[in-house]
Structure 1
């Protein structure tokens, strides 16, 4: 199996820690994304998702502009290194019941992988493996009839 670096998304959209829930919602809408990495001094300190936003804002009577990002983000994000085997990353996601992993190299954010990235990778791997099986079977048939 491949390495995380082979499938990670390298362009990670981040948001500064001192923003609010409205800033998060606007960035989600503008970029068409469902999660943001929260950074402070250029280092990741948390993660915020559409689910976090919906759950935490819908349970308050405050306006989203009044809710600090620190109240809706998760500081307990999971991460892997670029050289991590994809199989190990999948196992970590399953064990921790998370949908995305940050990719850190020497504590610096270098990428992110999501369930969608893994599904695309596994789909292409299955298609390639299936095509190779078909070619092998065809070669065997040709050799037998040859």
Structure 2
């Protein structure tokens, strides 16, 4: 099965200078757990609800002043939509991440694929990703 068959093709973007308070509101209002950070139409990072909660709140950062750039993951891990889900799962496992940007072969963003998307097709692959991330979290 191909990544493009299971990915989420709707995603929300933000600019890196948006405050994390505004980013959190956007996530809440759209009922999503991450935002793709773009500059000049190109993805430069991803910020998740976990980034905001566990990093910003835990460190008592003022959410009305801190920006997405301060909390995003700058290196965007990606796969291609025409790749097999096993390839995507192995990349997530290797990089200890739970989501990947999905690009076409012209490097245009098509969507996101998460461990949840993979779980809908293969509990085994999703379990491997989660097991690997749990081992490295300690």
- Give the TM-score category using the shorter length: 0.7 to 0.9
Higher-Rg structure is: 1
Calculate the TM-score normalised by the size of structure 1.
0.78
Distance in 1 (CA, whole Å) between partners of 2:58 and 2:8 is 32
**Which has more helix, going by share of residues?**
1
SS at match of 2:113: strand
RMSD, aligned CA: 1.3
What is residue 40 of structure 2 aligned with on the other side?
A: 41
Q: Is the 8 A contact 1:15 1:36 kept in 2?
A: yes
Q: Is the 8 A contact 1:77 1:102 kept in 2?
A: yes
What is residue 11 of structure 1 aligned with on the other side?
A: 10
Deviation at 1:56, TM superposition (A): 2.3
Q: Is the 8 A contact 1:46 1:73 kept in 2?
A: yes
Provide runs of 4+ in structure 1 moved above 3 Å: 59-62
Calculate the TM-score normalised by the size of structure 2.
0.83
SS at match of 2:27: helix
Deviation at 1:122, TM superposition (A): 2.1
Gaps in structure 1 of 5+ consecutive residues: 124-146
Deviation at 1:37, TM superposition (A): 0.6
SS at match of 1:44: strand
